[in-house]
Amino acid sequence: MTQHTVGSFLFDYLHRQGVGHVFGIPGDFALPTFRWMQQSKLDIITMTHEPSVGFAADAYARIHGLGVACVTYCVGGLNMLNSVACAYAEKSPLLVITGGPSPVDRKKDLLMHHKVRTFDTQQRIYDEVTCASTVLLDPQTAASEIMRVIHAIKTHSRPGYIEVPFDVVDMPIGHIPPEPTTIKPLSDAENLEAMLEDAVATMNAAKQPVIIADIELHRHGLTPLALSIAEKFNIPMVSTLLSKSIISETHPLYMGVYSGPLSESKVQKYVEESDCHLMLGAYITDVWFAFMGTSERLNRKRAMVCTTEKMQIGYRTYDDVVLEEFMQRLLTSPIKPRSAPSIPHTPEKPEPLSAAEKSEPITLNHFFRILGLHIGPNDTITCDTGDALFGAIGLRTQTSNNFLSDAYYLSMGFAVPAAIGACAAQPKNRVFAIVGDGAFQMTGIELSTAVKFGMKPIVFVINNDGYGTQRFILDGPFNEILRWNYTKLTELFGGGISHRVTTGTEMEAALKAAIASDQMNLIEVVVPRDDCSPSLKRVGEELGKLRDKDKRAG
């Protein structure tokens, strides 16, 4: 076997970890790395802007378990920082690879292009948004460093960083150690027993327990275990916006999405009247409560918070108790099974529009009702921040892990590049991307990448003539944007089909045509300027009380 170089080993190792695609933008420091990538078994998806690279690789990671982004030194890496921060905040296993200056250049301390302050500036910044980082200055230790960083990414489900100097990537690699051994942490035995005893007593005393299944279950492969607990003891479940679809939304114990007053009213009432909240892998964020600040909607006294970082029942905490071990023991504990609960369900399919509604100007409510009637069992949905996300709360998906959004970090510009990542990860699935016109103007140009690589997402641009979310918080001329002629974009890209719809009838026709077509489709959905979902209006009103001094004073 020919000896590996640093570059050939890196990409061969990633392929053995199950990676099939790398998302990136080349630059001079990274070009030698791209050449090794090209010679590997991985497919390269070159994109138009670094933030999109990060979002696409993040979406790929959420589906596949590991995503890879490759860009050049500083001007590429620092430009991608926001999307990597999103992946860190939402625990997505993303590997960032950047090119870099050579070890010789570093010793000379040259004023080299792309350098910011020191040669280590980029790595130090990335240390804030990664769980492990390295600069491969020595080919003798490169293999162990590559394996260490990737092992950390998969263990912690957070981004990692590898900087590859442009000349080191071509050097013969040194010693290749054995695969890192995953040593599962063990719980403190006494604390685990104490928590189990308290958990069993709490759940047996409860009249209306509910499981809040959140994103850590998916990130750490614990969703099947959570389902087993729910099914064995007949405990109903909800997800959060961030974890929507980690379990099939047609499961008989699944009620819907819980997000405080954003929830469907029956689901909200059931959860908030529950006397035992078993929060598994839960991110307790302000999005849960529609940004209402400190809330007593989920009383701490009746909450069991179980995450990889914190284990708590009521006001008691249990140090060194491992989430997976606790869940396994809970499954075999003496909890009394309940009779099949009578629980509310979000309807699997919305009501079709009446003939009168179809002829009216289309609204957000009409849009989501029409879309909900056409979602198939294996379709993937990517949603951007704003009504694209809040309006989609009621959409039901049948297959798990096929609803992608940055529902905690809430960065605009996520949905379109995430659709690129989803198309690469699951090429046989149909991908719907829902994005507002403001967010689309940030990253929508990435549809040219879809055309380039023959991807066929169906992209809905909700055109309400500006930053609709902000209008309800604090309005002003700063929320206005230039109204693009969105249907001309496919002509610009030289591929895809465009539609512009203003009524329900036009929307249904465009959607059916898009589903039947074999191309990327862009559907501009023109809604009234002040139209929004009830959820978004509530979010805007609550945030407005915090952000607008006049409303605070009132």
pLDDT at 17: 96
Distances from the Cα of 458 to the Cαs of 2, 314, 484, in angstroms? 45, 45, 19
Nearest by Cα to 392 from 203, 244, 205 = 244
Q: What whole-number distance in Å separates Cα of residue 470 and Cα of residue 543?
A: 9
Q: What whole-number distance in Å separates Cα of residue 379 and Cα of residue 431?
A: 6
Measured CA angle at 466 (ends 463, 467), to 5 deg: 110
E-assigned strand segments in 249-307: 254-257, 276-280, 303-306
Q: How many helices (H) and strands (E) does the chain have?
A: 23, 19
Q: What is the secondary structure of 41-61 as a DSSP string?
A: SSEEEE-S-HHHHHHHHHHHH
Q: What whole-number distance in Å separates Cα of residue 394 and Cα of residue 49?
A: 32
Q: What whole-number distance in Å separates Cα of residue 387 and Cα of residue 435?
A: 8
Q: What whole-number distance in Å separates Cα of residue 513 and Cα of residue 525?
A: 15
Element at 336 (helix H, strand E): none
Homologous superfamily of domain range 355-547: Thiamin diphosphate (ThDP)-binding fold, Pyr/PP domains (3.40.50.970)
Burial (Cβ within 10 Å: 0-12, 13-18, ≥19) of residue 221: exposed
State whether the Cα torsion 154-410-457-224 is positive or negative: positive
Measured CA angle at 503 (ends 497, 508), to 5 deg: 55
| DSSP symbol at 227 | H
Residue type, 141: T
Burial 428-463 (b: 16+ CB within 10 A, else e): ebbbbbbbbbbbbbbbbbbbbbbbebebbbbbbbbb
Q: What whole-number distance in Å separates Cα of residue 242 and Cα of residue 88?
A: 14
Residue type, 331: L
Nearest by Cα to 135 from 165, 111, 114 = 165
pLDDT at 294: 43
Helix, strand and coil percent figures for the chain, each rounded to 5? 40, 15, 45
Q: What whole-number distance in Å separates Cα of residue 482 and Cα of residue 132?
A: 41
Distances from the Cα of 409 to the Cαs of 82, 86, 552, in angstroms? 10, 6, 25
Q: What whole-number distance in Å separates Cα of residue 467 and Cα of residue 478?
A: 9
Question: For the CA atoms of the chain, what is the radius of gyration?
Answer: 24
Nearest by Cα to 538 from 473, 475, 466 = 473
- Please state the φ and ψ torsions of residue 333, each to the nearest 5 degrees: -85, 165
Q: Where exactly does CATH 3.40.50.1220 map onto the chain?
A: 189-331
pLDDT at 290: 53
Q: Is residue 417 a contact partner of residue 450, using CB atoms and an 8 Å limit?
A: no
Q: Which CATH code of 3.40.50.1110, 3.40.50.970, 3.30.1490.190, 3.20.20.70 fits the domain covering 6-170?
A: 3.40.50.970
Q: Is residue 152 a contact partner of residue 132, using CB atoms and an 8 Å limit?
A: yes
Tens place of pLDDT per residue across the chain (554 aa)? 468 999 999 999 999 999 999 999 999 999 999 999 999 999 999 999 999 999 999 999 999 999 999 999 999 999 999 999 999 999 999 999 999 999 999 988 778 899 999 999 999 999 999 999 999 999 999 999 999 999 999 999 999 999 999 999 999 999 899 988 888 889 999 999 999 999 999 999 999 999 999 999 999 999 999 999 999 999 999 999 899 989 888 899 999 999 887 788 899 899 999 999 999 998 787 776 655 544 556 777 889 999 999 999 999 999 999 999 999 999 999 999 988 878 887 677 788 999 999 999 999 999 999 999 999 888 999 999 988 998 888 888 777 778 999 999 999 999 999 999 999 999 999 999 999 999 999 999 999 999 999 999 999 999 988 777 777 677 788 888 899 999 999 999 999 999 999 999 999 999 999 999 999 999 999 999 888 777 777 777 777 777 777 776 66
CA 57 to chain centre: 10
Nearest by Cα to 256 from 342, 340, 373, 346 = 346
Q: What whole-number distance in Å separates Cα of residue 541 and Cα of residue 500?
A: 30
Q: What is the pTM of this model?
A: 0.94
Q: What whole-number distance in Å separates Cα of residue 451 and Cα of residue 81?
A: 26
- Please state the φ and ψ torsions of residue 311, each to the nearest 5 degrees: -125, 120
pLDDT at 455: 98
189-331 — its CATH code?
3.40.50.1220
Q: How many CA atoms lie within 13 A of 321 on its CB side?
A: 25
pLDDT at 76: 97
pLDDT at 1: 44
Question: 3-state DSSP call for residue 291?
Answer: coil
Q: What whole-number distance in Å separates Cα of residue 286 and Cα of residue 408?
A: 8
- Please state the φ and ψ torsions of residue 89, each to the nearest 5 degrees: -60, -35
Q: Where exactly does CATH 3.40.50.970 map onto the chain?
A: 6-170, 355-547
Quick one: tokens of 181?
A: 């051994």
Q: At what angle do helices 223-233 and 323-331 cross, to 10 degrees?
A: 30
pLDDT at 57: 98
| DSSP symbol at 351 | P
Element at 121 (helix H, strand E): helix 121-126
